[in-house]
Structure 1
Amino acid sequence: MRARGSATDLAIITADRTCRAYLETDETGHTWVSEVEGVGTPVVLPDSTLDALTGFAHVFAKGLVDCSSAIARLRDAGVRTSYDYSFFDDDLGEYAADLTFYSAGEGNADRGRRFAARAIERGARIAIATLGADGCIALTSEGDEYRIAPEPVRVVDSIGAGDAFTAGFIAAAARGATLEESLHAAAARGAEACLLPLAFEQETWPVDVGDRPLGIKTKTKTN
């Protein structure tokens, strides 16, 4: 990242063990993450890091322990926040980020809408729930609701599609795009990610999953 111009001064190196990600692959070759252990699990931001982050205009975060407290602290400092709650409903604490992302999954529009509504009630300006092949839903604090269809693609590997969606939305919004335009840009970036095989570069190998119908592969990544 440093070689590509990204600042890494605030990078946190945890003492946790090497990450092990369990990936499921179905009979069509579609692969997705089912579980992650080790590095990549929720972390606590030290006060020194939070203090440094108050100097930024916008902070995006994911995978924090007690994210609500961190969000409240940044908000009190005038920092706009965005947070990816993944599919963890319970991570939504007393204070939601200004912009929230939630992965409800295909066939779970009602679940996604409920989470988005809760996020709005707890301070979010925009709450987005992705629905996999069903597209996404977005609610706003002004009472508007948007439903965006997915980009039509033949999915090769959906790993990383959610992160690409999030990055696509934030990048478009930062350039001044409207909410609807940002959602379409996000959908396009997420669809592009689904065309790429093997989001992880590390070697994979099969593991014993007992009587489970789908094979699981593991990939390791050291932070």
Structure 2
Amino acid sequence: MTPSPNRATLLGIGDNVVDFYLDRNEFFPGGNALNVAVLAKRFGLDDAGYIGIVGNDVEGGHVLASLAAENVWFERVRQAYGENGKAIVHLDEKGDRVFLRSNKGGIQKRLGLRMEEADLDAVERYGHVHSSLFSNLDHELPNIRERAQSVSFDFSWRHELDYVKSIAPHITTAFFSGSALNDGEIDDLIDTVHKLGVSTVGVTRGSDGAFWMVDGKRYRQGIKPTRVIDTLGAGDSFIAGYISSTLMGNAVEEALDQAATFAAKTCTVFGAFGHPYKVEG
């Protein structure tokens, strides 16, 4: 795999899980870094890849099978002895996912991903990298940034300044969940992170849409009406849609609009990108 410099490509590095739906007795592949890679490929990127650690159990095998089915490059995925990351999920009456418990990332968190030269070669080939808070990859971000054209990072709910300061020098784009923040707090967060040298800062807040800043200019994006079945993966879809659209050369306004449409579509199916595995018994 050697993408041309003119092709739009993205490499997800870090977390993967399976989301087990108690009410359906089935699980789906997921995890922010993996979701964004798969969803970027679905959005229309020329190529997408994923590097992480999966377990040697049924769940880990299903993650690998799902990557293959989605035509996402995963030659540098490690399969290790132990259980794959797993979250237990329940859907409420509105289709919102409620996380009940997890195994704290499974084998991926216990081992911790260490970037080898072959991994960094892949970073250089793909050019654009996405990772996340849940990837436990903070120690490797300086090495990744040296070889990547851009690095996006999902902080999720974690907004504390000391942590953000430790990550900011090694990324170009920051995403946050603003579900617990009001408008003023979101504005302050965006200003603070932008002043740390991060060129693009985005905060999503569920039904209130997204708050954005790119190179000092602010944007707002509303949600797209849809028939909600399952909101799991909607935020990752928005991130994947935005990244993909901008890599394809679209302006910020168009990228945000396309990301909102892409996220709305994800809400109409179960799981972040499908591929259910039915558990017998």
What TM-score does the superposition give when structure 1 sets the normalisation length?
0.76
Identity of aligned residues (%): 22
2:140 to 50, 63, 70: 70
| Distance in structure 1 (CA, Å) of the matches to 2:80 and 2:202 | 30
Q: How many residues align?
A: 202
Aligned 8 A contact 1:23 1:33 in 2: yes
What residue in structure 2 maps to residue 192 of structure 1? 265
- 3-state secondary structure, aligned to 1:94: helix
Aligned 8 A contact 2:120 2:147 in 1: no
C-alpha displacement at 1:16, in angstroms? 4.5
1:167 and 2:235 equivalent?
Answer: no
1:37 and 2:110 equivalent?
Answer: no
C-alpha displacement at 1:189, in angstroms? 0.7
Aligned 8 A contact 2:128 2:148 in 1: no
Aligned 8 A contact 2:94 2:228 in 1: no
C-alpha displacement at 1:165, in angstroms? 0.8
What residue in structure 1 maps to residue 250 of structure 2? 177
| Distance in structure 2 (CA, Å) of the matches to 1:3 and 1:202 | 14
What residue in structure 2 maps to residue 116 of structure 1? 190
Aligned 8 A contact 1:20 1:36 in 2: yes
Change (3 A) 1:123 1:73: farther
Change (3 A) 1:194 1:3: closer
What residue in structure 2 maps to residue 12 of structure 1? 78
Aligned 8 A contact 1:112 1:130 in 2: no
CA RMSD of aligned residues (A): 2.8
Aligned 8 A contact 2:179 2:206 in 1: yes
What residue in structure 1 maps to residue 175 of structure 2? 101
1:153 and 2:226 equivalent?
Answer: yes
2:131 to 61, 75, 80: 61
- Point out where structure 1 has 5 or more consecutive residues left out of the alignment: 206-223
| Distance in structure 2 (CA, Å) of the matches to 1:81 and 1:137 | 20
- Point out where structure 2 has 5 or more consecutive residues left out of the alignment: 1-66
What residue in structure 1 maps to residue 164 of structure 2? 92
| Distance in structure 1 (CA, Å) of the matches to 2:82 and 2:179 | 29
Q: Deviations over 1:86-145 (max 9, x none)?
A: 2222453423221121111276444433333333233211011111000000012x3211
C-alpha displacement at 1:187, in angstroms? 0.8
| Distance in structure 2 (CA, Å) of the matches to 1:51 and 1:80 | 13
Aligned 8 A contact 2:76 2:119 in 1: no
| Distance in structure 2 (CA, Å) of the matches to 1:85 and 1:23 | 21
Which structure has greater helix proportion?
A: 2
What TM-score does the superposition give when structure 2 sets the normalisation length?
0.62
1:129 to 203, 212, 225: 203
